[in-house]
């Protein structure tokens, strides 16, 4: 059976060039970058060279980049570290209603256990946030605003610059989770005007367990971990040298391919969206038509549970998701779609199709052949859908 992978927003295969770049640091260059002998010095050079390469990619200074284990850790350091540093002066947080749980849950923890007030920045029916609504939420007591750049479920790309302008006027720090957008669309921290930005490698054909957090020079945060002087004590622990070398290589490859990949995958996504809406009645497109991460498509199939569709497609060799991989198995509707005003019964039938470099039009043609009968069969088994009809 042909296997078709349409879950690239969950993770991607590692590019062979990335593997080749990492291999020496598993073998002869295995030293600890904190050691002073020649093995350590070799690893340190590789680490700092990778830092320079990644910094150049997002247009920051190398000293403003801190290596982490990935997007979740970067988000937690940004949210919790900022809040803990400012807790005696500012006790208010604003985060996007459609954030990844790596931002939402630390913010909710601060509100529930540490006396912070939390406001969720609402979005419209396509997932876009309004600068005017942000202006109505921030105050002199706001410690941090965190709004995702590219949404992991719908692909919505926020106008972050318009939001950071509001935060700057109020002298409020701004963090963005750019895990899904870095390497797929242009991300420049100066253009965005952000104070902090999270990124990771495994969404862009790099290794799992390697990420980074940009912290603008002059911004102070409290560390979450203790035990060493690594990463200027902001993220102690022996650095993952092969991982960060792989992350740097993956970003450079993504930069070289970005324009070509975005155009091709955008065309495939547009073709797929229209074909699904034409072939299958009673569907809802949850992704915006424009200002979207090119290969991300989210569609709800009314009257059917998303998990049932995922399992049925898997039996046909097609891998998709019913939402974020981090919430797989959850029975409640997606908080992202709920925040967009999608009714619960519709949100529960949502499927995310996220394409990648290996995706072809033939792959999508196969999905378009097997998906309509799956939806028809599942709807025939649904008493709720039959009652609605």
Quickly list H helices, 8-159. Answer: 16-22, 38-58, 71-86, 101-113, 131-135
Quickly list H helices, 152-202. Answer: 160-169, 189-192
**176: burial class by Cβ within 10 Å (0-12, 13-18, 19+)?**
buried
Strand-strand pairing, 65-68 and 142-146:
unpaired
Confirm if 62 and 51 have CB atoms less than 8 A apart.
Answer: yes
Partner residues linked to 174 by β-bridges? 145
Q: Tokens at residue 256, please?
A: 């070289």
Confirm if 354 and 321 have CB atoms less than 8 A apart.
Answer: yes
Neighbouring residues of 331: CB distance < 8 A, sequence distance ≥ 6: none
For residue 314, give the H/E element and its range: helix 306-315
Whether 60 is a known active-site residue: answer no
Helix (H, G, I), strand (E, B) or coil at 312: helix
Confirm if 173 and 42 have CB atoms less than 8 A apart.
Answer: no
Find where tokens 């990619």 sit. Answer: 57
Give CA torsion, residues 154, 156, 160, 166, to 10 deg. -80
Catalytic one of 118, 258, 262, 326: 326
Phi, psi of 378 (to 5 degrees): -70, -35
The residues assigned a catalytic role are 326
């Amino acid at each position: 059976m042909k296997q078709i992978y349409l879950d690239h927003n969950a993770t991607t295969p590692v590019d062979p060039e990335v593997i080749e770049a990492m291999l020496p640091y598993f073998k002869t260059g295995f030293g600890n970058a904190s050691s002073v002998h020649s093995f350590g010095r070799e690893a340190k050079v590789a680490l700092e060279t990778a830092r320079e390469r990644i910094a150049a990619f997002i247009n920051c200074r190398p000293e403003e980049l801190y290596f982490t284990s990935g997007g979740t850790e970067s988000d937690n350091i940004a949210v919790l570290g900022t809040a803990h540093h400012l807790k005696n002066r500012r006790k208010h947080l604003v985060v996007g209603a459609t954030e990844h749980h790596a931002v939402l849950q630390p913010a909710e923890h601060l509100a529930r256990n540490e006396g912070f007030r939390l406001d969720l920045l609402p979005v419209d029916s396509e997932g876009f946030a309004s600068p005017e609504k942000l202006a109505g939420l921030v105050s002199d007591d706001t410690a941090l605003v965190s709004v995702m750049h590219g949404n992991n479920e719908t692909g919505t790309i926020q106008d972050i610059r318009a939001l950071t302008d509001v935060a700057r006027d109020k002298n409020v720090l701004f963090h963005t989770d750019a895990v899904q957008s870095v390497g797929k669309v242009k991300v420049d921290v100066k253009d965005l005007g952000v104070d902090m930005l999270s990124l990771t490698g495994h969404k862009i054909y790099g290794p799992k367990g390697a990420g980074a957090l940009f912290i603008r020079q002059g911004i102070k945060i409290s560390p979450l971990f203790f035990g060493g002087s690594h990463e200027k004590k902001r993220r102690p622990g022996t650095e993952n040298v092969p991982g960060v070398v792989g992350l740097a290589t993956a970003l450079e490859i993504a930069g070289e391919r970005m324009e070509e990949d975005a155009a091709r995958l955008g065309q495939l996504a547009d073709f797929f969206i229209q074909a699904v809406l034409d072939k299958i009645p009673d569907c809802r497109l949850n992704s915006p038509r424009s200002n979207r991460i090119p290969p991300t498509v989210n569609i709800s199939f009314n009257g059917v549970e998303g998990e049932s569709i995922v399992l049925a497609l898997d039996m046909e060799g097609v891998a998709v998701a019913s939402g974020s991989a981090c919430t797989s198995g959850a029975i409640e509707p997606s908080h992202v779609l709920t925040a967009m005003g999608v009714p619960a019964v519709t949100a529960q039938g949502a499927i995310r199709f996220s394409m990648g470099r290996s995706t072809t039009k033939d792959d999508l043609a196969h999905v378009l052949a097997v998906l309509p009968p799956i939806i028809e069969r599942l709807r025939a088994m649904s008493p709720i859908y039959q009652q609605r009809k």
